C-alpha cells in the first residue's frame, strides 16, 4: 500500500501547459474547417440616430465578398433576455461603434477591406455621453448587480455624522476602463444540419449555449458550444458577445462555416467595459477613529440598450463597523456602449473610494491606517447583522504589516526621500464575495484504472482545469496523472461560468460530489467491466447552505516613489496577504493574486478610456493609447495567504481568488502617494499632470 500525497494545496503546473506552449492547444479562432468564410464587423460612426441606407451593392462587388448582412436581410432573432445580442435587428443606433453590418468574405483581409469601405448613410440625432453627478436624468435603478438592493440604510447616517468629532467628506472618481484579455473575442461557427456548433472564446459555455438556443429558437440539444482554451476574459467574455451571434447567423445564411473575430479596437465598443464612477464618501468618527457613520453614494452610467447597474457601493456594506451606515447608487442612461463586468466589478472602483477615505480618516485622527481598520473590525456584517462564515481581515492586516515592515513607518507625509524620489507607503483592505453556483459534473472510472472528469467549466488562463484535476484526484485517491479533466463543452451539462470568483468553488463542489458517489459505488459493487460513470448536480446543496455572509478578505501594502518634478510615480513594491479559505494550487493561486494586484497597479496609474464627447467614442481604443501595466512598470509583487479553515463554503473549502487581488490595490497606491507627497489624488488614474497640478 502506497501513501498518496494530497494534490490539493500543492504548487502544480498547468496540466495543459505543454499543449499551450507547443501550439497544440487550439483557440476559438484557430479551428480549420472546409469552406470557412470570414466575417468582419462594420461599426456605426455616429453615437445616436438611425441607419438610413447601407450601400450593400458597392460592398458586394468588392473582391471575395460573399454577403453583406444588415438589419434589412439579417436573420430575425428572438429575445434571449440580453438586448445587446439582438444584433442587426433594427435601424436604431444606440452608440458609436455598434454593429451596423457584417461583411462575410472568402478571406479575413477581404472581409475587413469591404467593411472599411462600406458606406452607411445615417440620420443623426444629438447624443448625450457624459456622466456627471448632477446629470438631470440620474435615477435609482431597481437593483444593482447582480441582485443587491440599490440603497441600504441602517441607523441614522446624518445623526451619526452630526455627532462625530472627525468628519471626512470627499468625492472620488474612477474612469471608464476596458478589459484587454490577450485573446480577442473569436468564434468559429458551423451548422451540422440543424445543429449549431460553435468554437467560442468565453468564460462559460452554458450561458452562451442558452443564449444561442433562445436567439435562434432552437431545441436545447441543437446547440453545442466548445471553449477548450481561452486567452483571458475578466468579465468581457462572461456571456455571449456579438461574435458568436454574428458567426452563427452568417453560417446559417451562407450554409458554410463562418469565423468572426474582433480586433483590439473593436473590443473597445462591443464587449463591455468598466463604467466610470463618481463616488462621494462621508465618514464620521470619534477622535480615536471609531466610525459613527459611513455614507457611500455612487454614480455610474449605463446604455440605452440595457440597464447595467454597477454595484459600486456594496463594498461599504461589508467592511467596517459603522452603527449608522448608508449606501446608495444612482445611474444615468447615456448614448454609450453598455458597460459590463470587469474584474471585481463594483468592489474594485468602490474600494478605491472607501479605502482612500479610510486613509484620510486615519490622517485626520492621527491613527495608524492599519490600526484604524483593526479598530473598526465588525463582528457581523455591518449592513445586515448576519454572521460571516469566516473573516480574517485583521489577520491579513497584521501579517501583511509584519511582512512589509510597516512598524518602521514615519506617519508624516513627505518625510522620506531617496535621492530625487519622494518615498511613501500605503495600505488598503481587499474583499470580494465568496459564492457558489449550481453546476453539474460527470466522473468516469475507466477499466484501465484511470478517471475522466467532465464538466462545462472554463479555464480562461487561471489554472481551473488543473485545480479541478487536483480536487478530483484527492477524492478518487488517485495520482493526478490518472485523472483527465475535460472542460469547455456544453454537452457536459450546465455549469457556472468562470466569473464572480465562483468558478473553482462551484465546479469543485460538483466534481467532489460525483467523485464521492462514484467511489462509494465502486466500494460497494466493484468496477463493472465497461467502467462506470456518475453524474452529480449541486443545485439542492447550494440551496441548503446556511444563511451566512461569505467573503474573501485581504490587505495590500504599497511602496511608491514619486518624482516631484515630473510627477512620475513608480511602485517598487506591492505586498498582499489574503484569506480565501483553502488554496487548491499554490502556484496558480499566486499567479491569480499577483495578476489582480498588477492590474490594480495598472488601474492606479495608467488605465483610462478617454471619451470624446463630440463623437461619443472612447478614442484611445488600442494598446498604444490605452496603457496596461507592462513588465517595466512592475517591480516586486508578493502575494501570501493565511490558512483559513471554513466548513461553511463548499466541500473543498475554497472562497475564490480571481478578483480579490485587484480590490484595494489602487487605494493602497494612492494612499502611498499621499504619504510620499502630501498630495491626495482622488481621481484615477494618478497621472503626472494630476500630481503636478
Ligand atoms: Mo469576472 S468580472 O466576474 O468575469
CA of 353 from ligand 1 middle (Å) equals 20
Q: Which H/E stretch holds residue 671?
A: helix 665-677
pTM: 0.97
What pLDDT, on the 0 to 100 scale, is given for residue 1? 44
Is 659 catalytic? The answer is yes
Q: Which atom of ligand 1 is nearest to the CA of 497?
A: 4
For a ligand 1 pocket test, name from 181, 238, 274, 464 the mutation site with the most ligand atoms within 8 angstroms of its C-beta. 238
Residue to mutate, 145, 181, 345, 464, ligand 1, most ligand atoms under 8 Å from C-beta = 345
Question: What is the rounded average pLDDT of the residues 234-250?
Answer: 98
Is the pLDDT score of 2 beyond 70? Answer: no
Q: Ligand 1 centroid vs 93 CA: distance in angstroms? A: 27
Residue 3 has pLDDT above 90, yes or no: no
Ligand 1 atom closest to the Cα of residue 343 is 2
| The pLDDT value given to residue 4 | 72
Residue 29 CB–ligand 1 contact under 6 Å? no
> What atom of ligand 1 comes closest to residue 344's alpha carbon?
2
Average pLDDT over residues 31-40: 97
Asked whether 373 lines ligand 1 (CB < 6 A), one says: no
Whole-number Å distance, alpha carbon 543 to ligand 1 midpoint, is: 22
659's CB contacts (< 8 A; 6+ apart) are: 343, 344, 347, 348, 432, 500, 501, 596
Residue from 228, 355, 475, 659 carrying the catalytic annotation: 659
Most informative mutation of 343, 503, 599 for ligand 1 (most atoms within 8 A of CB): 343
CA-based R_g, the chain, Å:
26
End-to-end CA distance of the chain: 71
Distance of CA 458 from the midpoint of ligand 1 (Å): 12
Query: What own/partner pairs with CB < 8 Å and gap ≥ 24 does 387-391 have?
Result: 387/548, 387/549, 388/548, 388/549, 388/550, 388/551, 389/434, 389/546, 389/548, 389/549, 389/550, 389/646, 389/648, 389/649, 390/579, 390/581, 390/644, 390/645, 390/646, 390/648, 391/551, 391/553, 391/579
Give the model's confidence band at 529: pLDDT under 50 very low, under 70 low, under 90 confident, else very high: very high
Please state the atom number of ligand 1 nearest to the C-alpha of residue 203.
4
Cis preceding-peptide flag for 588 (omega within 30 of 0): no
Given phi > 0 = left and psi -120 to 50 = alpha, else beta, which region is 491?
Answer: alpha
Instruction: Examine the pLDDT at 269 and tell me if it is beyond 60.
Output: yes
Mean pLDDT (the chain, rounded): 97
* C-alpha 497 – ligand 1 centre gap (Å): 9
Q: Cα separation of 221 and 199, whole Å?
A: 16
Distance 359 CA to ligand 1 centre (A): 28
CA 343 – ligand 1 centroid, Å:
5
When pLDDT is averaged across residues 430-453 and rounded to a whole number, the result is 98
Band of residue 5 on the pLDDT scale cut at 50, 70, 90:
confident
Calculate the CA 14 to chain-centre distance: 21
* Region of residue 669 (phi > 0: left; psi between -120 and 50: alpha; otherwise: beta): alpha
Q: How far, in Å, CA of 573 to CA of 406, rounded?
A: 13
Residue 545 CB partners (closer than 8 Å, separation 6+): 436, 648
586 vs 9: CA distance, rounded Å: 6
Q: How far apart are CA 664 and CA 576, in angstroms?
A: 10
Alpha carbon of 561 to ligand 1 centroid (Å):
31
Question: Ligand 1: does its nearest atom lie under 6 Å from the Cβ of 49?
Answer: no
HEC profile of 151-179: CEEECCHHHHHHHCCEEEEEEEEECCECC
Looking at residue 84, its pLDDT comes to: 96
Q: How far is CA 106 from the centre of its chain?
A: 35
- Residue in this structure with the C-alpha cell 484504472, named with its chain if needed: 449
Q: Per residue in 168-206, pLDDT tens? A: 999 999 999 999 999 999 999 999 999 999 999 999 999
What digits encode the pLDDT tens for the residues 366-420?
999 999 999 999 999 999 999 999 999 999 999 999 999 999 999 999 999 999 9
Q: Is 340 in the pocket of ligand 1 (CB under 6 A)?
A: no
Closest Cα to atom 4, ligand 1: which residue? 235
Average pLDDT rounded to a whole number, residues 494-522: 98
Contacts of 415 (CB under 8 A, 6+ apart): none
Give the helix/strand (H/E) hosting 519. helix 503-525
Q: Is the CB of 234 under 6 A from ligand 1?
A: yes
Mutate-to-test residue for ligand 1 from 234, 433, 505, 596, highest number of ligand atoms within 8 A of CB: 234
If one residue of 500, 596, 656 were mutated to test the ligand 1 pocket, choosing by the most ligand atoms within 8 A of its CB, it would be 500
Decide: 345 in ligand 1 pocket, CB within 6 A: yes
Of 309, 308, 278, the residue nearest 296 (C-alpha): 278
Q: Is 111 in the pocket of ligand 1 (CB under 6 A)?
A: no
C-beta separation of 675 from 424 below 8 A: yes
Q: Is 235 in the pocket of ligand 1 (CB under 6 A)?
A: yes
Task: Check pocket membership of 596 for ligand 1, CB cut-off 6 A.
Answer: no
Atom of ligand 1 nearest to the CA of 234: 4
Atom of ligand 1 nearest to the CA of 236: 4
Q: What share of the chain is helix, strand, coil (3-state, %, to 5)?
A: 30, 25, 45
- Per-residue pLDDT averaged across 561-567, rounded? 97
Amino acid at each position: 500500500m502506497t501513501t498518496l500525497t494530497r494534490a490539493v494545496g500543492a504548487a502544480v503546473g498547468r496540466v495543459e501547459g505543454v499543449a499551450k506552449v507547443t501550439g497544440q492547444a487550439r483557440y476559438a479562432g484557430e479551428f480549420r474547417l472546409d469552406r470557412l468564410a470570414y466575417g468582419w464587423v462594420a461599426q456605426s460612426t455616429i453615437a445616436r440616430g438611425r441607419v438610413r441606407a447601407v450601400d450593400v451593392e458597392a460592398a458586394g462587388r468588392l473582391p471575395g465578398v460573399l454577403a453583406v448582412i444588415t438589419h434589412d436581410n439579417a436573420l430575425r432573432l428572438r429575445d434571449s433576455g440580453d438586448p445587446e445580442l439582438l444584433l442587426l435587428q433594427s435601424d436604431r443606433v444606440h452608440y458609436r461603434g455598434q454593429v451596423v453590418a457584417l461583411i462575410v468574405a472568402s478571406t479575413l483581409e477581404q472581409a475587413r477591406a469591404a467593411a472599411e469601405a462600406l458606406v452607411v448613410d445615417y440620420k443623426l440625432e444629438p447624443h448625450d455621453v457624459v456622466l456627471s453627478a448632477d446629470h438631470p436624468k440620474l435615477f435609482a435603478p431597481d437593483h444593482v448587480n447582480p441582485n443587491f438592493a440599490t440603497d441600504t440604510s441602517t441607523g441614522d447616517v446624518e445623526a451619526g455624522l452630526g455627532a462625530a468629532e472627525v468628519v471626512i467628506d470627499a468625492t472620488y472618481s474612477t474612469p471608464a476602463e476596458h478589459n484587454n484579455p490577450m485573446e480577442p473575442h473569436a468564434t468559429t461557427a458551423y451548422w451540422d444540419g440543424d445543429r449549431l456548433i460553435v468554437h467560442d472564446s468565453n468564460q462559460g459555455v452554458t450561458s452562451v449555449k442558452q443564449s444561442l438556443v433562445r436567439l435562434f429558437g432552437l431545441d436545447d440539444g441543437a446547440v453545442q458550444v466548445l471553449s477548450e482554451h481561452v486567452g483571458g476574459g475578466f468579465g468581457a467574455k462572461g456571456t455571449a458577445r456579438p461574435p458568436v451571434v454574428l458567426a452563427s447567423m452568417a453560417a446559417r445564411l451562407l450554409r458554410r462555416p463562418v469565423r468572426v473575430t474582433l480586433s483590439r479596437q473593436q473590443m473597445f465598443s462591443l464587449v463591455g467595459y468598466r463604467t466610470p464612477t463618481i463616488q462621494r464618501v462621508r465618514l464620521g468618527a470619534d477622535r480615536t477613529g471609531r466610525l459613527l457613520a459611513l455614507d457611500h453614494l455612487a454614480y455610474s452610467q449605463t446604455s440605452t440598450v440595457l440597464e447595467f447597474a454597477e454595484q459600486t457601493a456594496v463594498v461599504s456594506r461589508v467592511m467596517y463597523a459603522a452603527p449608522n451606515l448608508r449606501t446608495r447608487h444612482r445611474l444615468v442612461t447615456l448614448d454609450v456602449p453598455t458597460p459590463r463586468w470587469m474584474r471585481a466589478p463594483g468592489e474594485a472602483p468602490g474600494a478605491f473610494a472607501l479605502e482612500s477615505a479610510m486613509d484620510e480618516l486615519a490622517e485626520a485622527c492621527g491613527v495608524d491606517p492599519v490600526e484604524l481598520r483593526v479598530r473598526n473590525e465588525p463582528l457581523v456584517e455591518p449592513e445586515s447583522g448576519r454572521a460571516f462564515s469566516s473573516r480574517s481581515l485583521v489577520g491579513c492586516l497584521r501579517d501583511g504589516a509584519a511582512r512589509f515592515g510597516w512598524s518602521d513607518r514615519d506617519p508624516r507625509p513627505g518625510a522620506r526621500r531617496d535621492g530625487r524620489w519622494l518615498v511613501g507607503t500605503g495600505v488598503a483592505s481587499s474583499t470580494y464575495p465568496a459564492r457558489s453556483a449550481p453546476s453539474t459534473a460527470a466522473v468516469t472510472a475507466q477499466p484501465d484504472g484511470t478517471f475522466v472528469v467532465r464538466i462545462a467549466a472554463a479555464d480562461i488562463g487561471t489554472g481551473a482545469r488543473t485545480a479541478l484535476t487536483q480536487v478530483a484526484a484527492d477524492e478518487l485517491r488517485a495520482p493526478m496523472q490518472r485523472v483527465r479533466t475535460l472542460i469547455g463543452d456544453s454537452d457536459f451539462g450546465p455549469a457556472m461560468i468562470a466569473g464572480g470568483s465562483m468558478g473553482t468553488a462551484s465546479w469543485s463542489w460538483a466534481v467532489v460530489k460525483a467523485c464521492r458517489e462514484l467511489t462509494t459505488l465502486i466500494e460497494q459493487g466493484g468496477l463493472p467491466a465497461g467502467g462506470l460513470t456518475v453524474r452529480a448536480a449541486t443545485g439542492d446543496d447550494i440551496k441548503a447552505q446556511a444563511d451566512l455572509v461569505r467573503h474573501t478578505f485581504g490587505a495590500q501594502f504599497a511602496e511608491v516613489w514619486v518624482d516631484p518634478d515630473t510627477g512620475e510615480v513608480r511602485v517598487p513594491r506591492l505586498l498582499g496577504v489574503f484569506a480565501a479559505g483553502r488554496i487548491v494550487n499554490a502556484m496558480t493561486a499566486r499567479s491569480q493574486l499577483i495578476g489582480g494586484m498588477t492590474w490594480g497597479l495598472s488601474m492606479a496609474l495608467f488605465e483610462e478610456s478617454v471619451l470624446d464627447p463630440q463623437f461619443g467614442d472612447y478614442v484611445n481604443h488600442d494598446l498604444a493609447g490605452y496603457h496596461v501595466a507592462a513588465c517595466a512598470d512592475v517591480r516586486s509583487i508578493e502575494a501570501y495567504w493565511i490558512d483559513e479553515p471554513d466548513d461553511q463554503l463548499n466541500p473543498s473549502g475554497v472562497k475564490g481568488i480571481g478578483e480579490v487581488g485587484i480590490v484595494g490595490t489602487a487605494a493602497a497606491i494612492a494612499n502611498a502617494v499621499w504619504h510620499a507627497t502630501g498630495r491626495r489624488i482622488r481621481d484615477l488614474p494618478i497621472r503626472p499632470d494630476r500630481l503636478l497640478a
